[in-house]
Structure 1
Amino acid sequence: MAMHWDVFLDQVQERGEYGTRAEADRAARTVLGLLGAHLVGEVRAELAARLPETFALILLNPLQAAEPLSAERFVRATAAWIEGATEQTAAWDIGAVLSVTADAAGEELTRRILLQLPPGYDLLFGRPQDTTTFDTTSGD
Protein backbone atom coordinates (compact mmCIF):
# COMPACT_ATOMS: atom_id res chain seq x y z
CA MET A 1 0.00 0.00 0.00
CA ALA A 2 1.22 3.49 -0.85
CA MET A 3 2.51 5.75 1.87
CA HIS A 4 0.29 8.83 2.26
CA TRP A 5 1.68 12.11 0.87
CA ASP A 6 1.47 13.91 4.24
CA VAL A 7 3.25 11.09 6.06
CA PHE A 8 5.97 10.83 3.41
CA LEU A 9 6.67 14.58 3.39
CA ASP A 10 6.48 14.89 7.17
CA GLN A 11 9.14 12.20 7.49
CA VAL A 12 11.36 13.78 4.82
CA GLN A 13 10.94 17.18 6.51
CA GLU A 14 11.83 15.70 9.91
CA ARG A 15 14.86 13.72 8.71
CA GLY A 16 16.10 16.56 6.52
CA GLU A 17 15.43 19.09 9.28
CA TYR A 18 13.75 21.38 6.74
CA GLY A 19 12.11 24.55 7.96
CA THR A 20 9.19 24.18 5.57
CA ARG A 21 7.28 21.42 3.84
CA ALA A 22 8.04 23.15 0.52
CA GLU A 23 11.78 22.48 1.04
CA ALA A 24 11.07 18.82 1.78
CA ASP A 25 8.84 18.61 -1.32
CA ARG A 26 11.51 20.14 -3.54
CA ALA A 27 14.14 17.70 -2.27
CA ALA A 28 11.78 14.73 -2.74
CA ARG A 29 10.87 15.73 -6.30
CA THR A 30 14.49 16.21 -7.34
CA VAL A 31 15.87 13.05 -5.73
CA LEU A 32 13.03 10.80 -6.93
CA GLY A 33 13.22 12.31 -10.42
CA LEU A 34 16.90 11.38 -10.64
CA LEU A 35 16.37 7.98 -9.01
CA GLY A 36 13.64 7.10 -11.50
CA ALA A 37 16.10 7.39 -14.37
CA HIS A 38 18.18 4.61 -12.78
CA LEU A 39 15.46 2.08 -12.11
CA VAL A 40 13.71 -0.08 -14.68
CA GLY A 41 10.85 -2.49 -15.04
CA GLU A 42 9.08 -4.18 -12.19
CA VAL A 43 11.29 -2.67 -9.50
CA ARG A 44 10.47 0.87 -10.57
CA ALA A 45 6.75 0.05 -10.89
CA GLU A 46 6.65 -1.62 -7.45
CA LEU A 47 8.42 1.31 -5.81
CA ALA A 48 6.03 3.76 -7.50
CA ALA A 49 3.08 1.77 -6.13
CA ARG A 50 4.37 2.32 -2.58
CA LEU A 51 4.92 6.06 -2.93
CA PRO A 52 2.33 8.86 -2.78
CA GLU A 53 0.85 9.40 -6.27
CA THR A 54 2.59 12.76 -6.84
CA PHE A 55 6.00 11.19 -6.23
CA ALA A 56 5.11 7.96 -8.05
CA LEU A 57 4.48 9.99 -11.23
CA ILE A 58 7.83 11.76 -10.85
CA LEU A 59 9.57 8.40 -10.39
CA LEU A 60 7.86 7.00 -13.51
CA ASN A 61 8.58 10.10 -15.66
CA PRO A 62 12.12 10.78 -14.57
CA LEU A 63 14.71 13.39 -15.39
CA GLN A 64 16.77 11.67 -18.05
CA ALA A 65 20.16 10.31 -17.08
CA ALA A 66 22.37 9.53 -20.07
CA GLU A 67 24.11 6.81 -18.09
CA PRO A 68 23.86 5.28 -14.64
CA LEU A 69 25.44 7.74 -12.24
CA SER A 70 27.78 6.56 -9.55
CA ALA A 71 26.58 7.43 -6.05
CA GLU A 72 29.07 10.33 -6.02
CA ARG A 73 27.84 11.70 -9.36
CA PHE A 74 24.22 11.24 -8.23
CA VAL A 75 24.99 13.61 -5.34
CA ARG A 76 26.59 16.08 -7.76
CA ALA A 77 23.61 15.91 -10.14
CA THR A 78 21.19 16.49 -7.27
CA ALA A 79 23.20 19.54 -6.18
CA ALA A 80 22.99 20.87 -9.75
CA TRP A 81 19.18 20.56 -9.78
CA ILE A 82 18.58 22.22 -6.40
CA GLU A 83 19.13 25.98 -6.38
CA GLY A 84 21.82 27.04 -3.94
CA ALA A 85 22.73 23.46 -3.01
CA THR A 86 26.24 22.20 -2.35
CA GLU A 87 27.32 18.56 -2.59
CA GLN A 88 27.10 18.44 1.20
CA THR A 89 23.52 19.75 1.36
CA ALA A 90 22.54 17.56 -1.61
CA ALA A 91 23.87 14.46 0.19
CA TRP A 92 21.76 15.48 3.19
CA ASP A 93 18.68 15.92 0.94
CA ILE A 94 19.27 12.53 -0.69
CA GLY A 95 19.67 10.79 2.68
CA ALA A 96 16.42 12.29 3.97
CA VAL A 97 14.41 11.38 0.86
CA LEU A 98 15.89 7.94 0.17
CA SER A 99 15.72 6.74 3.78
CA VAL A 100 11.97 7.52 3.80
CA THR A 101 11.67 5.93 0.34
CA ALA A 102 13.37 2.77 1.66
CA ASP A 103 10.94 2.70 4.60
CA ALA A 104 8.01 2.96 2.16
CA ALA A 105 9.51 0.25 -0.07
CA GLY A 106 10.33 -2.22 2.69
CA GLU A 107 13.54 -4.25 3.05
CA GLU A 108 12.97 -6.78 0.25
CA LEU A 109 12.14 -4.19 -2.44
CA THR A 110 14.94 -1.89 -1.22
CA ARG A 111 17.38 -4.77 -1.67
CA ARG A 112 16.14 -5.27 -5.26
CA ILE A 113 16.40 -1.51 -5.93
CA LEU A 114 20.02 -1.51 -4.73
CA LEU A 115 20.83 -4.41 -7.08
CA GLN A 116 19.88 -2.15 -10.03
CA LEU A 117 22.08 0.71 -8.86
CA PRO A 118 25.86 1.18 -8.98
CA PRO A 119 27.80 0.46 -5.74
CA GLY A 120 27.55 3.11 -3.03
CA TYR A 121 23.80 3.77 -3.17
CA ASP A 122 23.24 1.62 -0.08
CA LEU A 123 24.78 4.48 1.94
CA LEU A 124 22.53 7.05 0.24
CA PHE A 125 19.50 4.96 1.24
CA GLY A 126 20.84 4.73 4.80
CA ARG A 127 21.14 0.96 4.36
CA PRO A 128 24.88 0.16 4.43
CA GLN A 129 25.40 -3.34 3.11
CA ASP A 130 27.81 -5.81 4.62
CA THR A 131 29.90 -6.17 1.49
CA THR A 132 31.79 -9.21 2.76
CA THR A 133 28.76 -11.39 2.04
CA PHE A 134 28.67 -10.20 -1.58
CA ASP A 135 32.39 -10.22 -2.32
CA THR A 136 32.89 -13.02 -4.85
CA THR A 137 36.18 -11.66 -6.15
CA SER A 138 38.33 -12.60 -3.19
CA GLY A 139 39.90 -15.98 -3.81
CA ASP A 140 43.21 -17.34 -2.79
Structure 2
Amino acid sequence: MVALLGAHLADGVRAQLAARPPEGFALTLLIPRQSAEPLPVERFVGATAAWMEEATEHAGALDAGALDVGAALSTVADAAGDDLLGQILLQLPTGYDLLFGRPRPT
Protein backbone atom coordinates (compact mmCIF):
# COMPACT_ATOMS: atom_id res chain seq x y z
CA MET A 1 0.00 0.00 0.00
CA VAL A 2 2.82 2.41 0.82
CA ALA A 3 4.47 1.54 -2.50
CA LEU A 4 1.27 2.43 -4.36
CA LEU A 5 1.02 5.69 -2.43
CA GLY A 6 4.65 6.44 -3.25
CA ALA A 7 3.97 5.96 -6.95
CA HIS A 8 1.54 8.88 -6.72
CA LEU A 9 3.99 11.30 -5.09
CA ALA A 10 6.65 13.52 -6.60
CA ASP A 11 10.19 12.36 -5.89
CA GLY A 12 10.97 15.08 -3.35
CA VAL A 13 7.89 14.45 -1.24
CA ARG A 14 8.35 10.68 -1.57
CA ALA A 15 11.96 10.98 -0.33
CA GLN A 16 10.87 13.14 2.63
CA LEU A 17 8.28 10.56 3.65
CA ALA A 18 10.79 7.72 3.20
CA ALA A 19 13.14 9.47 5.62
CA ARG A 20 10.55 9.24 8.41
CA PRO A 21 10.15 6.24 10.69
CA PRO A 22 9.30 3.39 10.38
CA GLU A 23 12.21 2.11 8.31
CA GLY A 24 9.87 0.06 6.13
CA PHE A 25 8.71 3.27 4.47
CA ALA A 26 12.10 3.78 2.86
CA LEU A 27 12.23 0.29 1.42
CA THR A 28 8.89 0.57 -0.32
CA LEU A 29 8.72 4.29 -1.10
CA LEU A 30 12.04 4.52 -2.88
CA ILE A 31 11.24 1.80 -5.40
CA PRO A 32 11.43 3.70 -8.69
CA ARG A 33 7.90 3.69 -10.00
CA GLN A 34 5.68 6.56 -10.90
CA SER A 35 1.99 6.61 -11.64
CA ALA A 36 0.82 8.44 -14.76
CA GLU A 37 -1.90 10.05 -12.65
CA PRO A 38 -3.17 9.53 -9.10
CA LEU A 39 -5.89 6.96 -8.63
CA PRO A 40 -9.25 8.22 -7.44
CA VAL A 41 -9.87 7.27 -3.80
CA GLU A 42 -12.22 4.41 -4.68
CA ARG A 43 -9.66 2.74 -6.97
CA PHE A 44 -6.84 3.29 -4.47
CA VAL A 45 -8.91 1.64 -1.72
CA GLY A 46 -9.82 -1.28 -3.97
CA ALA A 47 -6.22 -1.82 -5.05
CA THR A 48 -4.75 -1.60 -1.57
CA ALA A 49 -7.48 -3.44 0.31
CA ALA A 50 -6.81 -6.48 -1.85
CA TRP A 51 -3.20 -6.50 -0.60
CA MET A 52 -4.05 -6.26 3.09
CA GLU A 53 -4.64 -9.51 4.95
CA GLU A 54 -7.32 -7.96 7.18
CA ALA A 55 -9.28 -6.85 4.13
CA THR A 56 -9.60 -10.33 2.65
CA GLU A 57 -12.47 -11.19 5.00
CA HIS A 58 -14.40 -8.21 3.62
CA ALA A 59 -14.21 -9.59 0.08
CA GLY A 60 -13.78 -6.23 -1.58
CA ALA A 61 -16.45 -4.28 0.28
CA LEU A 62 -15.46 -0.68 -0.41
CA ASP A 63 -16.53 0.73 2.95
CA ALA A 64 -14.76 -1.99 4.95
CA GLY A 65 -11.71 -1.75 2.69
CA ALA A 66 -11.63 2.00 3.21
CA LEU A 67 -11.54 1.46 6.97
CA ASP A 68 -8.60 -0.93 6.65
CA VAL A 69 -6.72 1.37 4.27
CA GLY A 70 -7.59 4.38 6.40
CA ALA A 71 -6.16 2.69 9.48
CA ALA A 72 -2.90 2.07 7.65
CA LEU A 73 -2.76 5.57 6.15
CA SER A 74 -3.37 7.18 9.54
CA THR A 75 -0.05 5.63 10.57
CA VAL A 76 1.55 7.21 7.51
CA ALA A 77 -0.03 10.56 8.45
CA ASP A 78 1.33 10.33 11.99
CA ALA A 79 4.83 9.59 10.69
CA ALA A 80 4.65 12.36 8.08
CA GLY A 81 3.52 15.15 10.37
CA ASP A 82 1.22 17.98 9.40
CA ASP A 83 3.51 19.90 7.03
CA LEU A 84 4.58 16.90 4.95
CA LEU A 85 1.06 15.48 4.97
CA GLY A 86 -0.17 18.79 3.57
CA GLN A 87 2.30 18.44 0.69
CA ILE A 88 1.22 14.85 0.11
CA LEU A 89 -2.46 15.77 0.01
CA LEU A 90 -1.79 18.52 -2.53
CA GLN A 91 -0.59 15.81 -4.95
CA LEU A 92 -3.61 13.52 -4.52
CA PRO A 93 -7.23 13.78 -5.66
CA THR A 94 -9.89 14.94 -3.23
CA GLY A 95 -10.99 12.43 -0.64
CA TYR A 96 -7.56 11.21 0.42
CA ASP A 97 -7.65 13.52 3.46
CA LEU A 98 -10.39 11.30 4.88
CA LEU A 99 -8.34 8.15 4.24
CA PHE A 100 -5.44 9.69 6.16
CA GLY A 101 -7.81 10.49 9.02
CA ARG A 102 -7.23 14.21 8.58
CA PRO A 103 -10.41 15.70 7.08
CA ARG A 104 -9.89 19.15 5.62
CA PRO A 105 -12.49 21.91 5.73
CA THR A 106 -14.41 22.29 2.49
TM-score after normalising by structure 1: 0.64
Q: Secondary structure at the match of 2:38?
A: coil
Asked which structure has the greater CA Rg, the reply is 1
Residue 51 of structure 1 contacts residue 101 of structure 1 at CA under 8 Å; is this kept in 2? Answer: no
Q: Tell me, yes or no, if structure 1 residue 99 matches structure 2 residue 69.
A: no
Instruction: Describe how 1:1-140 pairs up with structure 2 within 5 A.
Output: 31-61=1-31, 65-82=35-52, 84=56, 85-86=59-60, 87-131=62-106
Aligned residue-pair number = 101
- Residue identity over aligned pairs, in percent, reads 64
In the TM superposition, residue 92 of structure 1 has moved relative to its aligned partner by 1.8
Partner deviation per Cα, 1:12-47 (whole Å, 9 max, x = no partner): xxxxxxxxxxxxxxxxxxx21210110112111111
Unpaired runs of at least 5, structure 1: 1-30, 132-140
State how far apart, in whole Å, the 2-side matches of 1:33 and 1:107 are: 21
Residue 8 of structure 2 contacts residue 38 of structure 2 at CA under 8 Å; is this kept in 1? Answer: yes
Cα-Cα RMSD: 2.0
Unpaired runs of at least 5, structure 2: none
Residue 33 of structure 1 contacts residue 62 of structure 1 at CA under 8 Å; is this kept in 2? Answer: no
Measured at CA, do residues 102 and 82 of structure 1 come closer, stay the same or move farther in structure 2, by a change above 3 Å?
closer
